[in-house]
Structure 1
Amino acid sequence: MPATNKPRSARVRLVSSILFGGIALAGILIVLYAWQLPPFSSPIESTENALVRGQTTFIGPQLSGYVYEVPVQDYQWVKQGDLLVRIDDRIYQQRLDQGLAQLGMQKAALANNMQQRRSAEATILQRQAAVESAIAQGQKAAADFKRNSLLISDGSVSKSELGVTRAADAQAKAAVAEARATLEISRQDLQTVIVNRGSLEASVQNAEAAIELARIDLSNTRITAPRDGQLGQISVRLGAYVNTGAQLMAVVPRPRWIIANMKETQMANVRLGQPVTFTVDALENRKMHGRVQRISPAAGSEFSLLPADNATGNFVKIAQRIPVRITVDDDQTDVDRLRPGMSVVVSIDTSQDGDVPPDPVDGTVEKNK
């Protein structure tokens, strides 16, 4: 019996060592595959840290007032320009009417200024004629005085007559000076009217600007959709008083894209234009396709409100995340069912290149980098 058991024990140990070695090798292979290390490395870079994004626009009023009309409902599709909320516009209509009346007053004052200018110009012509008349009278008085001064020597003119002509000459000279002064006053009055016109024209422009502001306020009582899209929940109700900037609802347009937060260790071979596949959790892991459109200029931590300060004694290295924007191909089934905020699992094929897709909003195309 002992002779037959010895070879059997050796065979058991040999089998056990082979099994143990196989299990160890299988474990090593599993670890290599799980960590995507050679020979199991793959050009596919994947992450679960990805969400569907969209241009969610929050709608709010630019002025305060009572809500007069809410013709839309939750989750309704709207077109650009469709009425969403109307605020009571009676006060703003009266402000517009008041501005129009004020503009009429300022235009009437401006027209009156033009009439004053014409009157001042006519007065100047009248005063110029008065100056010329006074000059003529002065010349006559001066000639009479000169003639009487020559005749006084032979007794043809009495001293009293000479005194009268002297006084008349002096009076004529004073009349000329007075007429010229009156003419200068008229010219200054005209200049005052001209200067005042600039002030009146500014008043008209100010009234016109006030009217335009009143029209803007009146138009802002009608809150319309900025673009085509689907509404979120309506948080405003008929008769409520809303303040400027209050959030009334949100509009979500159709364009969708993916923001995938890749680890920095995955970014070595990621390039613009590379094909992407992603699965959507909300659609039973439906597989869809897209392309890398943009790569963030910095890690997500650089855009945080409180940036991390690693200049401390205790430091733990953490792989940073680089946001990658991915466009969604439009020619896919159920692409319209994507909603901003949905979770997706993204896989980028770094072994392929492609053209950078255009922006779904402005249609611009970036160079492949």
Structure 2
Amino acid sequence: MNESTTSDTEATRSAPPPAPLTSPVTSKPRSTRKRVVSSVIFAAVALVGVLVVLYAWQLPPFASPIESTENAQVKGQTTLIGPQLSGYVYEVPVQDFQFVKAGDLLVRLDDRIYRQRLDQAIAQLAVQKASLANNLQQRRSAEATIGQRQAELQNSIAQSRKSAADLRRNQALVTDGSVSKSELDVTRAADAQANAAVAEARAVLQIAREDLQTVIVNRGSLEASVANAQAAIELARIDLDNTRIVAPRDGQLGQIGVRLGAYVNSGAQLMALVPEQRWIVANMKETQMAHVRLGQPVSFTVDALDGHEMHGHVQRISPAAGSEFSLLPADNATGNFVKISQRIPVRIVVDADQPMLEHLRPGMSVVVSIDTSADGDVPPDPAVR
């Protein structure tokens, strides 16, 4: 009993003293500091995220005066070349993608028929001119005939006056028996014949005058026929010239869609001609147009030129959104309206004397950036208003 008590007492003495208990007042500030640090880190991350979003969307305070869009293409006045006449292709002296000058021969049609038509028109003009000359001769003849008929009328009048005088004299002499009644009857018949001759001469003179008027009227018709024949010659000459299809301006040809000996119809597309003039059409969002003005400087990069940067300036702004020029304009007067940001086409003229300018081709995609901080120095175009 005493031995066990003694061993317990020794074990108790040899055991290490218990560790002191942690005070609750000391652990509470540590947890508070952890929460504060976590809150600060979270707030910093959130702030950075918000700033990144604002920068990505170019919102204040990161708003930029540069308005950019990828919805832009190089444009050019592509001309479709086609014949005004139908016929067989006689010559094609050009090749695909060839550079040509204004007036260069592109295609020549078989012109034999049109040459014959021109010769026929020239011959018809000669016929009409001969008819006109004949009309002039007819007028002179008619005028001479009128002179002759007038002389005949004067002669008939003179004969009538003489017969009338003879009749009066014989009537006076018949009373004293100097002239017999039979002689008086002969005188009366002669006077009647003279009066009839005067009436006939007047009628013949009137017919001659009507013939002259007919000749004069016919001259107007013949002059119109001559003018018509001259116009026919001009039309035939135009048709003959149209058998030669020439370049209307300087530029580069597209693919040649016609071959030697082929039959082509009037208006058929044979090839395309792209002139050297180039410009950019950028379809800007309506929300980007608040500060876009004419004359503002523009920089753009061309995808096909390995992102080469070129420069220009705003030349014109479309009078309406692009959707207004579509075949079926949108009608928002419905119950299922969804607001969609519209696009406003902006025409950008390319500055001259730049490297790589000759490599621009219509249809190329470009990325456009407009500096809206500039005021612009080009006056508004009245045609755009």
1:266 alignment counterpart: 288
Q: Mean alpha-carbon deviation: is it higher for 2-11 or for 130-139?
A: 2-11
Corresponding residue of 1:220: 242
Shift of 1:354: 2.9
Task: Measure, in 2, the Cα distance between the counterparts of 1:67 and 1:15.
Answer: 87
Write the distance in 1 (CA, Å) between the matches of 2:269 and 2:38. 72
Distance 2:131 2:158 in 1: 40
Q: Does 1:114 align with 2:164?
A: no
Q: 1:118 is matched by which residue type in structure 2?
A: R
- Aligned counterpart in structure 1 of residue 367 of structure 2, from 341, 345, 366: 345
- Bigger drift between 286-295 and 1-10 goes to 1-10
Separation (CA, whole Å) in 1 of partners of 2:246 and 2:34:
84
Q: Which residue of 2 aligns with 1:240?
A: 262
Give the aligned partner of residue 289 of structure 1.
311
Instruction: Answer yes or no: is the 8 Å Cα contact 2:107–2:244 preserved in 1.
Output: yes
CA distance in 2, matches of 1:241, 1:367: 43
Structure 2 unaligned regions, length at least 5: 1-18
Q: Are the counterparts in 2 of residues 50 and 345 from structure 1 also a CA contact under 8 Å?
A: yes
Structure-2 residue corresponding to 1:26:
48
Paired residue type of 1:195: V
Q: CA offset at residue 262 of structure 1?
A: 0.4
CA contact (8 A) 2:319 2:384 kept: no
Cα distance in 1 between the residues matched to 2:99 and 2:38: 69
Q: CA deviation at 1:317?
A: 0.1
Cα distance between partner residues in 1 of 2:379 and 2:244: 37
1:251 aligns with 2:270: no
Residue equivalent to 1:362: none
Does the 8 Å CA contact 1:273/1:368 hold for their aligned counterparts?
Answer: no
Which residue is 1:175 aligned to? 197
Rounded to whole Å, the distance in 2 between the matches of 1:357 and 1:70 is 46
2:335 alignment partner, SS class: coil
Stretch deviating more after TM superposition (314-323 or 205-214): 205-214
Whole-Å Cα distance in 2 between the matches of residues 296 and 304 of structure 1?
A: 14
Query: RMSD value over aligned CA atoms?
Result: 2.0
Q: Does 1:52 align with 2:74?
A: yes
Counterpart of 1:322 in structure 2 is 344
**Number of positions where the alignment pairs a residue of Structure 1 with one of Structure 2:** 363
1:130 aligned onto 2:132: no
**In 2, Cα distance between the equivalents of 1:28 and 1:368?**
42
Deviations 1:279-322 (A, max 9, x none): 10001111111000000000001100011111111010001100
Aligned partners of 1:355 and 1:368 also within 8 Å: no
Q: Is 1:302 the equivalent of 2:329? A: no
Give deviations 1:257-296, integer Å, cap 9, x for gaps: 0000000111000000000011100011111110000000
In 1, the alpha carbon distance for the partners of 2:204 and 2:382 equals 77
Which one of 71, 75, 79 corresponds to residue 97 of structure 2? 75
Normalising to structure 1: TM-score of the pair? 0.94
Alignment gaps of 5+ in structure 1: 359-364
Q: 1:197 aligns with which of 219, 225, 247?
A: 219
Q: Corresponding residue for 2:6?
A: none
Q: Percent identity?
A: 77
Match of 2:112 among 90, 115, 123: 90
Q: What letter corresponds to residue 75 of structure 1 in structure 2? A: F
8 A contact 2:316–2:384 mirrored in 1: no
Rounded to whole Å, the distance in 2 between the matches of 1:286 and 1:11 is 55
Deviation at 1:355, TM superposition (A): 2.3
What is the CA distance between 1:218 and its match in structure 2? 0.6
Letter in 2 for 1:215: R
Question: Computing the radius of gyration over CA atoms, which structure comes out larger, 1 or 2?
Answer: 2
SS at match of 2:333: coil
- Partner Cα separation in structure 2 for residue 176 and residue 11 of structure 1: 149
Look up the SS of the partner of 1:123 in the other structure: helix
1:234-271 deviation digits (Å, cap 9, x = unpaired): 11111111111111111111111000000011100000
Deviation by residue 1:154-206 (Cα, 9 ceiling, x = unmatched)? 11111111111110011001001100110000000000010111111111111
Aligned residues of 1:291 and 1:356 also touching (Cα < 8 A)? no
Partner SS for 1:288: strand
